[in-house]
Amino acid sequence: MGFFDIFRRVDINEGVKSYKAAEGAVLIDVRTLSEYAGGHIEGSVNIPLQSISGSKALPEDRCAPIYVYCLSGARSRQAVHILKRNGYASVNDIGGIADYKGKVVR
């Protein structure tokens, strides 16, 4: 990751499309439980950032495609680094739900 990558904007809408197209993919929302309850993307699993290391909700297959989002993209970026450090090979930061144009589940 280069210095200017921190300014790169990811498109959560494209990320959700990629998630839906990837066989065996897992969509993880790293916001708090209350944020998740307020509205989340259908099919996502809530694993708050502070609980991401060692969570039982993570896939056993460390090669499974994982897509991560939060509110704005800051926590999802942190979660991606943690997951990669823990041996997950295919982790994708798709940004923040604040920019999501699709339907949310409450």
* CATH number for 9: 3.40.250.10
Q: Which residue has the higher pLDDT, 24 or 2?
A: 24
The verdict on residue 103 lying in a domain is no
Residue 54: per-residue pLDDT: 86
The verdict on residue 38 lying in a domain is yes
Percent of the chain whose predicted confidence (pLDDT) is above 90: 90
**How many domains would you assign to the chain?**
1
DSSP tag of 97: G
The verdict on residue 104 lying in a domain is no
Q: What is the mean pLDDT of residues 97-104?
A: 97
Q: Which domain holds residue 78?
A: 3-98
pLDDT class for 7, splitting at 50, 70, 90? Answer: low
